[in-house]
Structure 1
Amino acid sequence: MTSDEKETIYNLLKLSSSWVYGYKSPKFQGDSIAFDDDVIEFVEPKPAPSSDAMATEVPQSEAIDIESAPPKVTGQQPSDNGGITIESICSKISTCRNCVLSNTRTNTVPGEGVQHPYVMVIGEGPGEDEDKTGRPFVGKAGQLLDKMLAAIGLSRTTNCYIANIVKCRPPMNRTPMPDEANACAGYLQAQIHILKPKFILAMGRTAAQNLLKTNTGINTLRGNWLELQFGNEKIPLMATFHPSALLRDERLKAPAWQDLKKFREKLLAEKPDYAEVFYTQQ
């Protein structure tokens, strides 16, 4: 294979991977790879003038394995985002037609919160109120979520960012289908990559199962410290009941409160002043 052929294939793979992620793919961090020819063209030699003529052996270059380096997600420098911002991701979401949910939406609901959140709260998907306003968690379940977060010193205006697995409302608020969740996965990954939250709070079964790639039920997952593998990083994650589940069954409020207290204990251990901004702005 020639160097030009290698470069063409590499660029196609890089473009495809970046499209899936919604930002510069962590699998393709190098921009200055030099490819060599593997193909040696055979040229019929001219008759040697004498038996003493020297034969020159042309070494064959080794193929370059572009997948040999493990995926890496870093993010301490702004350049790591490749110029992608939360605003540009929101703009992409607003014109997205990757799944059938785009056919029935009123507004896309990309997310809302601070630019450098200590906690990222991830739910299932927009409801009727969210679809009307373009904002996440603003209906009755959202009002309860705000109270739940405030009880442990968290808020979308001070130290949190709130998003969903899918960015468009499923009809009749049904659970998102796997293909719909997959269609939005790149946007959510991009948001996590840019925001770099220290912790993730997954609200409900759909959020937890999609983030952790598991079929385990919420009753088993909730209240335990788990990890979201993200590139080379592991983000601590806890799942609890979705606020809408608490509105349907008040018996779930007590265990949900136990989960939140456990979540707060971890936050305090890692960053004792995490809630200072929240309390000073109340």
Structure 2
Amino acid sequence: MNDERKLLMKLSEGERAAYKKVLWEEARSNALACRACPLADTRAKVVFGDGDPDSKLLFIGEGPGADEDAQGLPFVGKAGQLLTQILTAAGISRKEVYITNIVKCRPPENRVPSPQETVICDRHLQTQIMLIDPLLIVLLGNTPMRWILQTNEGITKLRGRWFEWRGVAVMPMFHPSYLLRNQSREKGSPKSLTWIDIQEVKRRWEEVKTAGKLSEDIFVGGRA
């Protein structure tokens, strides 16, 4: 994967776009054909991801649910509909970003992916990250936050802060399914905090789109 990244950097813009398209289709085909863990035996469809693979803003969730498993697309059930509403309210279109999950197949009964499943599926995620080459990543919930940042802290403590991860700005946010279980909009509630967080994401994304790079003052949370 590092060799492919180095090669991409040496190519002209046009050559890079063409080669990236080939690598992206290869990565997608590999994921769709994957039978490396037991989740392959119970899935209906592999949920590779959705959106713009050239976007500099990447959202990573936990894993597909029943609706996602049926449609082969991430965040299309009730939690996904809420995510879309949150993005739209902040002025972000799903078509402008890329959305994926830590694991690409639905864990039975929507349980948390096991460590083994997460490790096995990580090669698909890392390939996506390498090819997308985002500058901003939003981690939706405890599972992607703990996996990417390698922390045992909870989402309540770390949400809303930017962390540096491999030169990328990473922010944990509450998973929309958690917001569905916590309907209060009072000040300090998960929904009100998420609104603050997504506005910060929007602000930093606009900076990236204008400058083509991260603002120097973004990393106030820590380094991973």
Structure 2 counterpart of 1:191: 128
In 2, the alpha carbon distance for the partners of 1:82 and 1:261 equals 31
Structure 2 unmatched runs, 5+:
184-188, 213-224
Change in 2 beyond 3 A, CA 1:83/1:258: closer
Structure 1 counterpart of 2:77: 139
Runs of 4+ with >4 A deviation? 72-75, 79-84
Structure 1 counterpart of 2:179: 246
Change in 2 beyond 3 A, CA 1:83/1:240: closer
Change in 2 beyond 3 A, CA 1:103/1:264: same
Cα deviation per residue 1:126-174 (whole Å; 9 max; x = unaligned)?
00000001011000000111111112222221x2011000000000000
Higher-Rg structure is 1
More helix by percentage: 2
SS of 1:85's partner is: helix
1:156 corresponds to which of 72, 91, 94 = 94
Change in 2 beyond 3 A, CA 1:242/1:196: same
| Correspondences of 1:27-38 after superposition (within 5 Å) | none
- Residue identity over aligned pairs, in percent, reads 41
Say what the alpha-carbon RMSD is for the aligned residues.
Answer: 2.3
Structure 1 counterpart of 2:206: 268
Aligned length: 202
| Correspondences of 1:67-216 after superposition (within 5 Å) | 75-76=8-9, 77=11, 78=16, 84-157=22-95, 159-216=96-153
In 1, the alpha carbon distance for the partners of 2:46 and 2:125 equals 13
TM-score with structure 2 setting the length: 0.83
Instruction: Output the amino acid matched with 1:236.
Output: A
Deviation of 1:115 after TM superposition, in Å, equals 2.8
Cα deviation per residue 1:35-80 (whole Å; 9 max; x = unaligned)?
xxxxxxxxxxxxxxxxxxxxxxxxxxxxxxxxxxxxx767443299
Which moved further from structure 2: 237-246 or 109-118? 109-118
Deviation of 1:270 after TM superposition, in Å, equals 3.2
